[in-house]
Amino acid sequence: MSNKDEFISEFLDSDTIDALKKLLESNTSYEESVDKIALAFGAKKDFSKMDNDSVNKLVVSFKNNLTLLIQKTWVEKSDIALKDQLLYKLGQLLSNNDSKWADNYNLFREIIDQAVYLMFGQSTNSPDFAEYSIRIDPEFGIFWWYISSLPQKTDWSEEKLKLAMMLGMFFLANY
C-alpha cells in the first residue's frame, strides 16, 4: 500500500481503494470497480450502466456546475486570463455530438487540473496537497485522490475512458 493509499484509508474502505487499483490496471471487467468508486461519490448503483440520455444530462450538469464554480472563484488579477481560458475549454469539452471520449480525455484532465488550481492556488503543486484537500473537505479530497490517480496519458478503450471521465464529472456535477 502506497503512502497515498494509507492516508486515504482513513476516509475510504479498502474495497473502494482496491476498486481504483482494478480500474487503473484492468482492460476488461472494470465496470464493478467504476460502480464502487461511484458509490463513494454518492452515485446510485449501476453507475456504469447509465443510458445515453443520463450520460448527456450528466455532461450538461457537469459543465453547468463547473462553470458556476469557476465563475464564482475569486482569483488574482494574474489568473483572470486563465479563468477565461478555462471557461472556453469547458465549453469545448464534448461539445460535438460526434465527439469521442478518448479525444477529450486530455482536455478533461487539463480542465480539472486548472479548475482545482484556480480554487486552491499554488498549493495544488505541493506534494502534500492530497492530504491538505482531504483534511479541509473529505469529499473533495476523495475526488482529488481519484483524479490524481488517473494517468496523464492512456491507451484505454473508449468505454473505459468514458466511465473514468464520467466519475469525475459526476462528482463535480454534484459538488
- DSSP track, 13-25: -HHHHHHHHHHHH
Distance (Å, rounded) from C-alpha 34 to C-alpha 166? 10
Q: 104 near 92, Cβ under 8 Å?
A: no
Q: Does the model's pTM come out above 0.85?
A: yes
Q: Check whether 88 has a pLDDT greater than 60.
A: yes
Distance (Å, rounded) from C-alpha 68 to C-alpha 174? 12
| Cα radius of gyration (the chain) | 16
Q: What is the pLDDT of residues 130-171, one digit of tens each?
A: 889 998 999 999 999 999 999 999 999 999 999 999 999 999
Confidence of residue 51 (pLDDT cuts 50, 70, 90): very high
